[in-house]
Amino acid sequence: MKIAILGAGAFGGALAVALGRERPVTLWGRGLEGRQIARLPGITLPEAVSVTPDLAAIAPADAVLLALPMQALSAFSADHATLLRGKALVACCKGVDLRTGLGPVELLAQLEGGRAPAVLTGPSFAADIARGLPTALTLACTDETLGAQLQHALSTPVLRLYRSTDVIGAELGGALKNIVAIAAGVVIGAGLGDSARAALMTRGYAEMQRFALARGARPETLAGLSGFGDLVLTCTSQLSRNFRFGQALGAATPFDASQTVEGVATAKAVAQIAAKDGIDMPISTMVAALVDGTVTLGAAIQSLLTRPLKQE
Ligand SMILES: NC(=O)C1=CN([C@@H]2O[C@H](COP(=O)(O)OP(=O)(O)OC[C@H]3O[C@@H](n4cnc5c(N)ncnc54)[C@H](OP(=O)(O)O)[C@@H]3O)[C@@H](O)[C@H]2O)C=CC1
Ligand SMILES: O=C(CO)COP(=O)(O)O
């Protein structure tokens, strides 16, 4: 299976490093030249990685990994539908498209004549993958045969892929945990303490399950790497941009706007869907309001703490 990766940011670059240590792989990024990845300081791409700024160069690939920010995926895949047609597409982004309310797999499935798209998601910081540290991810695809082929093609001795057919559960776990990570960052930034963060994570997980199950996800997927696993990682590490963004919000300090923080747009998308479908999502709704500036930090905290007492 010939593999191409689209997007030479942190995650695309890290996947190229990991796979390129084992097999040939093509990495495309706009304006990409040389063997350094701007978002991965100190990392050099292995020799087996062919680097190109020319998208046509990925034409021979059988499998294409799309490591782009979620909000760029819809336009990008539509613009390059002809090139992507017939290939095994693997979404590597975490989020919900704000315009359509769709996840990455659902967006890619809209391309005509395509094979069942897959999603690669789970607890994995690009910096860890690029350093060759052990990582476990979920590869979800409704086509079991293709899923197994991708699992083997994309696993390495230190990058272990677990297979699933629950693409909705896998993509929603990765999308929703970013919202909770922003909220966890707010809790820590505002000085509310580790106990409050644990409570927030637990109630956030309940919220993730409520939303994902309503959309057809399986509970065990949410309890796996792509849900619970990534929630724990992202809510507890300073390496997470979503967590750091929330922390800055909670502490009222500046944050580098050039960073990709997927939870911002996804919180808005999820809050809209939850309101329309009548799903109780207090944390996501509050994060959406907070990032929109329609509620103050004090009011957001107060609103979550004064919800009616209920059974767990
Ligand atoms: N970083 C991580 O640890 C992990 C990230 N992910 C997920 O991977 C996805 C990508 O994130 P990440 O790599 O970290 O983000 P980065 O900000 O590091 O990189 C994003 C890349 O996408 C490119 N890009 C943005 N918009 C477009 C577009 N319209 N057309 C073509 N290329 C575009 C950027 O190019 P340019 O620089 O030219 O703007 C950049 O190379 C996210 O959904 C994230 O949640 C998943 C697991 C781990
Ligand atoms: O998804 C990630 C880890 O699994 C990366 O998290 P951030 O996007 O918050 O940096």
Task: Report the atom number in ligand 2 closest to the C-alpha of 124.
Answer: 4
| Least distant ligand from the CA of 95 | 1
Going from the Cα of 12 to the center of ligand 2, the distance in angstroms, rounded, reads 13
Segment 18-67, tens digit of pLDDT: 999 999 999 999 988 889 999 999 999 999 999 999 999 999 999 999 99
| pLDDT for residue 227 | 98
Q: Is 234 in the pocket of ligand 2 (CB under 6 A)?
A: yes
Going from the Cα of 234 to the center of ligand 2, the distance in angstroms, rounded, reads 6
Determine the Cα–Cα distance for residues 247 and 183; give it in Å rounded to an integer: 8
| pLDDT for residue 113 | 78
Determine the Cα–Cα distance for residues 248 and 242; give it in Å rounded to an integer: 10
**Spatial contact of 13 and 27, defined as CB atoms under 8 Å apart:** yes
What mean pLDDT is predicted for residues 291-308?
93
Q: Is 12 in the pocket of ligand 1 (CB under 6 A)?
A: yes
Determine the Cα–Cα distance for residues 136 and 155; give it in Å rounded to an integer: 9
Tally of CB atoms within 10 A around 80: 17
| pLDDT for residue 54 | 96
Coil, strand or helix: which one is 60? coil
Share of the chain above pLDDT 70, in %: 100
Determine the Cα–Cα distance for residues 3 and 60; give it in Å rounded to an integer: 9
Identify the weakest region by mean pLDDT among 18-22, 112-116, 118-122.
Answer: 112-116
Note the pTM of the prediction, 2 decimals: 0.98
Q: Is 244 in the pocket of ligand 1 (CB under 6 A)?
A: no
Segment 158-191, tens digit of pLDDT: 999 999 999 999 999 999 999 999 999 999 999 9
